[in-house]
Amino acid sequence: MKTVSNYVDGRWVDPRVEHFHSINPATGEALASAPASDAAAVAAAVAAARRAFDKGDWRWRKGSERARALLAFADALAARAQDISELIAREMGKPVRVNLAREVEGAVDKLRYFAGAARFLEGQVTAGTAPEIWDMVLPEPAGVAALIIPWNDPVDLAVRKLGAALAAGCTTVVKSSEVTPASTAALIEAADASGAFPAGVINLVHGPGEPTGEALVDHPGVDKISFTGSTATGIRIMERAAKRLAKVSLECGGKFPALIMPDADLERCLDAVTYGAFMYAGQSCTACTRLIVHESLHDRVVAGVVARTKALKIGDPLDPAVLVGPMASRKQYDKAAGYIRLGLSEGGRAVTGGDPGERRDLFLPPTVLVDLPATARIAREEVFGPVLVVHRCRDEDEALAIANDTPYGLGGSIWSQDINRALRLARWLDVADVWINTHYIRHVETSFGGRHLSGLGRELGMAGVEEYLSWKRLCIDTRSSFHLKDWFEGPGGRA
């Protein structure tokens, strides 16, 4: 069993606290031991980040110097890509076939993008004022950033936050998920091995939301909080941060709809939505959880999705042929299985999968439910498991009504070969991220975020870097005489 430590002020440290274990969900065996950091352990990490920000030179380094550090970090991570990919598969259960290309190599690419972004932080000079006055806005790093990482993408999602924060000049405290501490620790090990960052710029603590996460969110030395995870937790973080008006960005839940119109390219569509529904065993905020299908295509779509679902290989996530691994934890398994039973009780019919019954393992068969009313809870609430619900619609208006009848607003897809129709639907679909005739294409150059209960703020792109900036206005008066003199000495003024 691997033992992982906190990383504070450039050193690996073991606070005198109880340890918890992460579990290999495919085997049930303990995989890693990590400290359940208490308030004192969190305070030590924040103090190191605070010193590095207030007294160190990271925030003042030229963009090109921060860029070189991020590139060195990327190279160190690339050298460990295969090992970390296999570690994620063992600790989280996500197939290694997905991890290497999408997660670890994707994280390397993001670090290299953020290296470029560090060189392109620009302020503004305002025109239209008096010619003798220079009025400008300058970007400065927000300060100490607390980065709270989810378990479903323990490396890639960490880099989305960490790379942006470092590019902006912030110092950081990363909190890993209690489900995947070893995976996120492996990322920080790569940063440490690069030798590119001053002590205190990057810090890592392990532990659950309570007490570790709460201590981090509540700490007065933290200026910025970035969180990815459940909506309920995001709301609690925002409530706690509001007490001191800390800067917050949240990427929370989703209930991704796919609108399939009569002229959709079905073969392409069915491949994409089936993969989108069951990648990571559905444990993704952008999983395709609802198909809203024109009634003329309904039966063909259901038959096509069922055939593709049954062809998915389920099993050991270290097997390169496997596309669907286990659920990440017993908690996640029980939640998803409970939603399947709820959907059946709400009138749904399982055309594949269904109630898993009593199982000792965490392999939950992908389930497709039909005949549910659009108002059913399983049709409106986030399941975070391998569950797909299929609805009929008569026309575009009904498709949009069903798609928008949820408190989430993260993303959705539209399937139509009529570009005018697709663009029209895209404008009325109440989500922040729309794909047309594809699912889950994302580039680091383009920002991503959510509406409503899906969160606030952006990640990726320059907008993601700006989440870690604070803006300072600077006004310079170059006139030779004091411009308020007339007020003091003119007519009606003071002599």
Catalytic positions, please?
A: 251, 285
**Continuous H helices in 243-365:** 266-278, 298-311, 330-345
What DSSP character marks residue 312? S
What whole-number distance in Å separates Cα of residue 252 and Cα of residue 228?
6
Sheet with 367-370, strands from edge to edge, namely 349-352, 367-370, 387-393, 288-294, 256-260, 411-415, 433-436
Q: Which of 304, 300, 302 is nearest to 271 (CA)?
A: 304
Distances (CA, A) of 22 to 27, 176, 177, 206, 332: 12, 11, 10, 11, 14
What whole-number distance in Å separates Cα of residue 251 and Cα of residue 218?
19
Round the CA-based radius of gyration of the chain to a whole number and report it.
25
Helix axes 181-194, 63-79, angle to 10 degrees: 120
Sort strands 11-13 and 411-415 into parallel, antiparallel or unpaired: unpaired
Sort strands 288-294 and 256-260 into parallel, antiparallel or unpaired: parallel
Bridge partners of 137, per DSSP, are 124, 473
CA angle 122, 194, 72 (to 5 degrees): 40
What whole-number distance in Å separates Cα of residue 435 and Cα of residue 211?
39
Phi, psi for residue 297 in degrees, rounded to 5: -110, -5
What whole-number distance in Å separates Cα of residue 239 and Cα of residue 247?
12
How crowded is residue 39: how many other Cβ atoms within 10 Å of its Cβ? 14
Contact yes or no for 408/453 (Cβ under 8 A)? yes
Query: C-alpha 37: how far from its chain's center?
Result: 23
What whole-number distance in Å separates Cα of residue 91 and Cα of residue 154?
10
